[in-house]
Amino acid sequence: AEDAKLTVAYFLADSMLPALYAQEKGYFTEAGLDAEFIAVQGGPAVVSAVAAGEADVGYAAPVPPINGRLNGVPVKMFLQLSQEVAPDKTYTWLVASGASGIKDLAGVKGKKIGFNANGGLCELMWRDHLATVGLTMDDVETVVLPFPEQEAALEQGNLDATCTINPFHASMGGNANLGAVEIATGTLADLSTPLMNDALFASEDWLAANGETAIKLAQVMDRARKELLADRTALEGAAVQFMELTPEAAKSFSLPIVNESMVITAADVQRILDAMVKTGMHPGPLDGAEFVSELKY
């Protein structure tokens, strides 16, 4: 039979690496999928692409598809690629510059804070962490700035603190001029159990009609993840090829994977929804089951 078509719109992030690697290696073709990957600027654009039927599957942080669904775009999440868990497997940080004088979360009051997009994980992160010291977004000044520009903004004093990810976090750490201070880590303050950090999602209709394709996708992803986790050279090669890392930077690169399983449950989403409601990003109440299509692969 002819290969099933599969278009994936994605927001460039390290947990997508296995997919790009699998594409390069021809694993999708082997599985009978004719896959195509399109990079899109920002999670919301990924949701638009999926809603328009221009992409079958989207990859983004969980908040954009959640927001999309809340606003009438019928998408459901069916796989998660990475998770965070305390203490050492966290992939998001709140960092302040030395010059800002900020030493801890409480010091952020009245300062200029940055994040990469409205209504994204970074906003949730700021809200959740600030709530632990009794601050809200009204107590700070916000600037939305793409990740790559944040370090310079911190150093030039245009930002006092920001939400960042790798490789930018690592770069800030190595910048002596910046004197970066890490004031928090992890998307939510409470990370005693693994928290989903991203999601593959699709429209309800597509999922209903293409369960087979979704499973094949999961299987290919699984294969690629395992291969990369096992083979350091392959991983570094992929990081250089697809993420344009320098070979040196690739040496310290690792995939943000905690759970071997990629299955999403209603409970996974519910944690995020609760945090959104608690921090005022949404009035609530919200039911996690609505947002998920559990996929057994």
Partner 1 sequence: MTRQTRIALWGLLVPLAILALWQVAAMLQRTPLFPGPGKVALAIWANYPVILRELGITLLRAVVGFGLAAVTMIPLGIFLGRVRVIGRVLEPLMDMLATLPPPAIIPLVMLFAGTGDGAKVVIIAYAAAVPLLMNTYEASHSIHPMLSRVARSLHLSRFETMRLIDLPSSLPMIATGARLAIASSLLVSVTSEMLLATNGIGTFLQRSQETFKIDAGLAGIAFISLAGIIVNAGVFRLEKNWLFWHYRDQRPAE
Partner 2 sequence: MIPGIAVLAEKFRVPICIALVLGVWQIVFVLGVVNEKYFPSIPTIAVAFGQMLTDGSVIAAWATTFLRALIGLIGAALLGVALAIVSDLSPILSRGIRYVSDVLQPIPPAAFVPMAVFMLGLGSKLYAFVIILVTVWPPYLNGVAALAGVGPVQLNTGRMFGLTNWGLLWRVKLPAALPEIFTGIRYAATISLIAVIVSEMLAGRDGIGFMIFKKAFAMRTPEVFGLMFLVAINGVLLNGLVNLLRRGLTGWHMRMMERSE
25, 28, 32, 33 alpha-carbon torsion, rounded to 10°:
-140
In whole angstroms, how close is the CB of 148 to partner 2 at the nearest point? 4
* Binding partner at 288 among partner 2, partner 1, none, C-beta below 5 to 8 Å by kind: none
> Which SS3 state, helix, strand or coil, does residue 154 take?
helix
* Among residues 32, 134, 146, 284, the one that binds partner 1 under rule CB under 8 A: 146
148 near partner 1 (CB under 8 A): yes
Judged by CB under 8 A, does residue 158 bind partner 2?
no
48 or 97: whose CB is closer to partner 1?
Answer: 48
152 binds partner 1 per the rule CB under 8 A: yes
Nearest approach, Cβ of 38 to partner 2 (angstroms)? 5
39 binds partner 2 (CB under 8 A): yes
The number of angstroms, rounded, from the C-alpha of 3 to the middle of its chain's C-alpha atoms is 29
Contact between 168 and partner 2 by CB under 8 A: the answer reads yes
Applying CB under 8 A, among 131, 133, 229, 249 the residue interacting with partner 2 is 249
Cα 134 to chain centroid distance, Å, stands at 26
Q: Cis omega before residue 148 (within 30°)?
A: no
If you write DSSP's letter for every residue of 159-218 in order, what string do you get?
Answer: -SEEEE-TTHHHHHHT-TTTT-EEEEESSSS--SS-EE--EEEEEHHHHHH-HHHHHHHH
What is the CB neighbour count within 10 angstroms for residue 75?
25
Q: Could you say whether residue 73 binds partner 1 (CB under 8 A)? A: yes
Residue 158 binds partner 1, judged by CB under 8 A: yes
The entry of partner 2, partner 1, none near residue 209 (CB within 5 to 8 angstroms by kind) is: none
- What is the Cα–Cα distance from 159 to 111, expressed in whole angstroms? 8
Q: How many residues bind partner 1 (CB under 8 A)?
A: 32
| Residue 89 DSSP label | B
Segment interacting with partner 1 (CB under 8 A) among 7-15, 70-78, 212-220, 254-262: 70-78
CB of 227 to partner 2, least distance (A): 22
Number of Cβ within 10 Å of residue 255's Cβ equals 16
Which DSSP letter does residue 91 get? -
Under the rule (CB under 8 A), what is the footprint of partner 2?
9, 12, 37-41, 44-45, 48-49, 51-52, 54-55, 146-148, 151-152, 155-156, 167-168, 171, 175, 177, 243-246, 249
